[in-house]
Amino acid sequence: MTTPDTSTDNAGLEILGRDECLRLLAAAPLGRIVFTHNALPAVQPVNFVVYGMDIVIRTSATSRLASATRDTVVAFEVDDFDVDARAGWSVTVVGNGRAVTDPEERADLERLPLHPWAPGDRSHFIRVETKVITGRRIPKETPGTAAG
């Protein structure tokens, strides 16, 4: 492992600072929650809101997502890429996913502007308590990509 400089990782990608990661995360309309289901990796797109440093998702209490994230470490990813420019950014959170069961906390979260896109009952809240947030960018100015 080589030591990256302050702004570029050892894969040549620009490292985004924490504030920029949080700004991009908060502005993203949709993210992908990554979890384990039946001992296999699983991923699901969801809409969400950022609440303090945490991510809040609404789903059905009987969903695969709800069952698999009651008390476990999950990842959450947002990105935006310009395919023509072959450039863009991604931000990933790793944190504790948990079901929200406390009535006061639930009442707080119900006031958030969080309206699931999918139909049906979505009365279950998942809260991801952000522990680590990281981001990378492929800038538009990158010259041609070398391949070995």
Q: Which residues make up the interface to a second copy (CB under 8 A)?
A: 1, 10-13, 29-30, 32, 34-36, 40-45, 47, 58-60, 62-63, 73-75, 77, 79, 81, 83, 86-88, 90, 92, 94, 115-123, 138, 142-143, 145-148
Q: 């492992």: which residue's tokens?
A: 1
Count how many Cα atoms sit within 13 Å of the Cα of residue 16 in the half-sphere of its side chain.
23
CB of 31 to a second copy, least distance (A): 10
Query: What is the Cα–Cα distance from 86 to 144, expressed in whole angstroms?
Result: 10
Between 18 and 140, name the residue whose CB sits nearer to a second copy.
140
Q: Across the chain, how many H-helices and E-strands are there?
A: 3, 8
Quick one: 22 or 125, whose CB is closer to a second copy?
125
Q: Which is nearer to a second copy, 107 or 146 (CB)?
A: 146
CB of 18 to a second copy, least distance (A): 18
Give the residue with the Cβ less far from a second copy, 17 or 117: 117
Is the C-alpha dihedral spanning 93, 95, 99, 102 positive or negative? negative
Angle value at C-alpha 53, between 40 and 111, nearest 5 degrees: 95
